């Protein structure tokens, strides 16, 4: 699965930028990844619920909201109620991650839990039984264009084993520095869904970039 990140898109043309990856076949994105940053949990500030609501009206591609915000227990439900397909919160910010997962699902969204590069997987395994997505950050959250941190793939492999053995039932997603040079090693480690920003929106044809990344991921997964 390929989830282009609009953090790397032209913010003045977001509807058109999403349309560029909403074609047919291999060029169609599986999800559109929307980074919500509040300038508190992370130093950057991007967009919020009003913009997400507008994007939801502009496309039928599932919207994958990644909330890099403080107090997601309070704010995340609004994104689910608005119609986001998947709403991901940070383990480091959630006060009660299990209750939050249940509330997100009750509001109609899939529930995602994200962990930073320096956050261990093991303390969150019980909470992850209530989630639909694990988002492993392969850069420090808050800014686009960072370099991929390969050490996080140990967490991906651990999560993949738990999914394959039935201990967890979730999509393993990765976000940060995913491009033609890194996607195959991430796929080999067991990633299901790849968030890609500049690798898609820095290309001349974003749809073709999605198809190319999908093909590389399939090669990596096949070994």
Sequential DSSP letters for 169-218:
--EEEEESS-STTTHHHHHHHT-SEEEESHHHHTSS-HHHHHHHHHHHHH
Q: Tell me the binding residues for a divalent metal cation.
A: 33, 35, 66, 175
Torsion of Cα atoms, 96 then 101 then 106 then 108, to 10°: 140
Residue 96 known to be catalytic: no
Q: Tell me the binding residues for substrate.
A: 5, 66, 142-145, 175-177, 197-198
Determine which one of 30, 35, 64, 192 is catalytic: 35
Single out the residue of 81, 82, 103, 101 nearest to residue 91, CA to CA: 101
Q: Tell me the binding residues.
A: 5, 33, 35, 66, 142-145, 175-177, 197-198
Residue 35 known to be catalytic: yes
Torsion of Cα atoms, 35 then 36 then 38 then 41, to 10°: -60
Determine which one of 30, 38, 132, 175 is catalytic: 175
Single out the residue of 33, 41, 27, 39 nearest to residue 8, CA to CA: 33
Which positions are catalytic?
Answer: 35, 175
């Amino acid at each position: 699965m390929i989830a282009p990140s609009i953090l790397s898109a032209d913010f003045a043309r977001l509807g058109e930028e999403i349309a560029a990856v909403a074609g047919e076949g291999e060029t169609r994105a599986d999800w559109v990844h929307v980074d919500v940053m509040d300038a508190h949990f992370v130093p950057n500030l991007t967009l919020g619920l009003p913009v997400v609501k507008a994007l939801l009206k502009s496309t039928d591609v599932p919207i994958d909201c990644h909330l890099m915000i403080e107090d997601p227990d309070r704010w995340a439900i609004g994104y689910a109620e608005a119609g986001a397909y998947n709403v991901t919160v940070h383990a480091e910010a959630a006060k009660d991650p299990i209750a939050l997962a249940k509330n997100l699902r009750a509001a109609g969204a899939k529930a995602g839990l994200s962990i930073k590069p320096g956050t261990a997987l093991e303390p969150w395994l019980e909470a992850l039984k209530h989630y639909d997505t694990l988002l492993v950050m392969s850069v420090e959250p808050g800014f686009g264009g960072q370099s991929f941190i390969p050490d996080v793939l140990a967490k991906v492999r651990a999560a993949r084993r738990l999914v394959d053995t039935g201990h967890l039932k979730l999509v393993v997603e990765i976000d940060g520095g995913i491009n033609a040079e890194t996607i195959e090693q991430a796929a080999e480690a067991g990633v299901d869904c790849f968030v890609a920003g500049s690798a898609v929106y820095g290309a001349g044809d974003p749809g073709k970039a999605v198809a190319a990344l999908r093909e590389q991921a399939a090669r990596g997964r096949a070994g």
